[in-house]
């Protein structure tokens, strides 16, 4: 098994935290995104979509998506459960993970990738070049503001994002919050519940992954 | 149990097809998106994120995301499996479902919502207004072209999107292709594999859902 990672990128960090929570370690290869190694023919033979993370199984099967990789490890190594046990819990964790990703993670990505100088024609990850759209960077910043308020409200009556247990939804939310920080979008002072939660999940050893 | 639907919208159609494949019928309420019923306080009490589909369970729990709802029904009604059985199959279906959604569904949504007159300040679903960005409509059209080529290549060596079995990844891809048609983005003549697959999945009774 081989895990294609990049320590500075947010998407593979989701998997690293997931693995750390489960106590699993996997042989890891670093992909140098800074020098566009993901666009080389060698890496595109592994993942044609030219993104990290990717996981290669011993039979050569490749899983080219952060949540797809988490699904794999949840199935082969169910403890501790990070994607729910009952039908209802599985559904709620999936929903919250996706809502955080859609409203938060993609908002930060819009803000970041459409404004950073070094990503001039790389406004989206993947094999195709797309020009930055300044209005989209602006919209991303607005979205992230709304997302912080939404999550703060949720965390006012729930210990963790998807309910009483830490889950993959918290992992996506933590990676989103820290990625937002890199885009200079800090957790608002008035979002007390969000800040309480962020301190709590950041104190888990897995957050260092 | 109550399913909040809108027959003309693509996201709830994903769930309708999923349920039809499983032979499940659920009491359904139509939400009038054309008149912004999703933004009313009454509907936002059900789903604060102001989107359909939503599923309300008998104990009052709400699941506010198309794939979250599919996860629920897959767990309580596993046959026929649409999200995989082995760890590897589950992971591949999750990955492909997400790749189709990211590269295809969201691309069509960009093209459609940033250009249609009736969605002037509704460039994103959800409770917040966002202005249309014409450059984003243009980028969406480019993305959909790339997506069709990507999927055509995949379907050249795989009967269905995620492998030899029909799955939720095919459902997302079918809804994406038909939604693209509404944005006047038709399946290219030269994409023979994609067209073969589209005819095949459209012929299943579930496609009428």
Do B95 and B174 fall within a single domain?
yes
B84 contacts B93 by C-beta, under 8 angstroms: yes
Q: What is the mean pLDDT of chain A?
A: 97
CB contact under 8 A, B92 and A63: yes
Rounded distance between C-alpha atoms, residue B116 and residue A45, angstroms: 38
> For B91, which of A68, A95, A130 is closest by C-beta distance?
A68
Residue A154 forms part of a structural domain = yes
Q: Which of A57, A76, A95 is at the close of a domain? A: A76
- Considering chain A, what percentage of its residues have pLDDT values greater than 70? 100
**HEC per residue, chain A:** CEEEECCCCHHHHHHHHHHHHHCCCCCEEECCHHHCHHHCHHHHHHCCCCCCCEEECCCCCEECCHHHHHHHHHHHCCCCCCCCCCHHHHHHHHHHHHHHHHHHHHHHHHHHHCCCHHHCCECCCCCCCECCCHHHHHHHHHHHHHHHHHHHHHHCCCCECCECCCCHHHHHHHHHHHHHHHCCCCCCCCCHHHHHHHHHHHCCHHHHC
Residue B44 forms part of a structural domain = yes
Do B57 and B127 fall within a single domain?
no
B169 to chain A: which residues are within 8 Å by CB? none
State the average pLDDT over residues A142-169. Answer: 98
pLDDT in tens, A76-129: 999 999 999 999 999 999 999 999 999 999 999 999 999 999 999 999 999 999
Do A102 and A195 fall within a single domain?
yes
Q: Which of A76, A98, A132 is at the close of a domain? A: A76
Query: Residue B205 has what DSSP assignment?
Result: G
Residue A20 forms part of a structural domain = yes
Q: Count up the domains in chain A and report the number.
A: 2
Do A191 and A110 fall within a single domain?
yes
Residue B154 forms part of a structural domain = yes
Pairing of strands B28-30, B54-56: unpaired
Do B123 and B70 fall within a single domain?
no
pLDDT band of A155, cuts 50, 70, 90:
very high
pLDDT in tens, A26-52: 999 999 999 999 999 999 999 999 999
Give the residue numbers spanning the domain of B147: 87-208
Q: Is A28 exposed, middle or buried (0-12, 13-18, 19+ CB in 10 A)?
A: middle
Beta-carbon contacts below 8 Å between A and B: 109
Query: Residue B101 has what DSSP assignment?
Result: I
State the average pLDDT over residues B26-51. Answer: 95
Residue A81 forms part of a structural domain = no
Report the CATH number at residue B41.
3.40.30.10
Do B112 and B148 fall within a single domain?
yes
Do A108 and A181 fall within a single domain?
yes
What residue of A is the nearest CA neighbor of B48?
A150
Q: Which of A76, A103, A120 is at the close of a domain? A: A76
Query: Residue B38 has what DSSP assignment?
Result: G
State the average pLDDT over residues B128-151. Answer: 98
Tell me, yes or no, if the pTM score tops 0.90: yes
Residue A82 forms part of a structural domain = no
Report the CATH number at residue A111.
1.20.1050.10
A42 touches chain B (CB under 8 A): no
Query: Residue B188 has what DSSP assignment?
Result: P
Do B55 and B103 fall within a single domain?
no
For residue B196, what are the contacts with CB-CB under 8 A and spacing of at least 6? B155
What residue of B is the nearest CA neighbor of A103?
B126
Residue B82 forms part of a structural domain = no
pLDDT band of B190, cuts 50, 70, 90:
very high
CB contact under 8 A, A68 and B133: no
Do A131 and A92 fall within a single domain?
yes
Do A50 and A138 fall within a single domain?
no
Rounded distance between C-alpha atoms, residue A159 and residue A148, angstroms: 16
Residue B21 forms part of a structural domain = yes
Do A69 and A169 fall within a single domain?
no
Do B99 and B60 fall within a single domain?
no
Q: What is the mean pLDDT of chain B?
A: 97
């Amino acid at each position: 098994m081989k895990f294609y990672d990049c320590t500075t990128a947010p998407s593979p960090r989701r998997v690293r935290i997931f693995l750390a929570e489960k106590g699993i370690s996997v042989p890891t290869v670093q992909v140098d995104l800074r020098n566009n190694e993901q666009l080389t023919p060698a890496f595109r033979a592994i993942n044609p979509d030219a993104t990290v993370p990717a996981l290669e199984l011993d039979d050569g099967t490749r899983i080219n998506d952060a949540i797809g990789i988490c699904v794999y490890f949840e199935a082969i190594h169910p403890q501790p459960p990070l994607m729910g046990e009952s039908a209802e819990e599985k559904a709620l964790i999936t929903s919250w993970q996706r809502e955080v990703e859609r409203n938060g993670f993609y908002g930060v990505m819009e803000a970041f990738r459409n404004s950073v100088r070094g990503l001039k024609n790389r406004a989206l990850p993947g094999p195709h070049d797309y020009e930055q759209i300044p209005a989209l960077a602006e919209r991303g910043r607005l979205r992230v503001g709304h997302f912080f308020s939404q999550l703060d409200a949720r965390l006012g009556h729930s210990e963790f994002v998807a309910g009483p247990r830490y889950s993959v939804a918290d992992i996506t939310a933590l990676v989103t919050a820290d990625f937002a920080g890199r885009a200079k979008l800090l957790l608002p002072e008035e979002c007390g519940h969000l800040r309480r939660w962020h301190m709590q999940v950041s104190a888990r050893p897995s957050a260092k992954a």
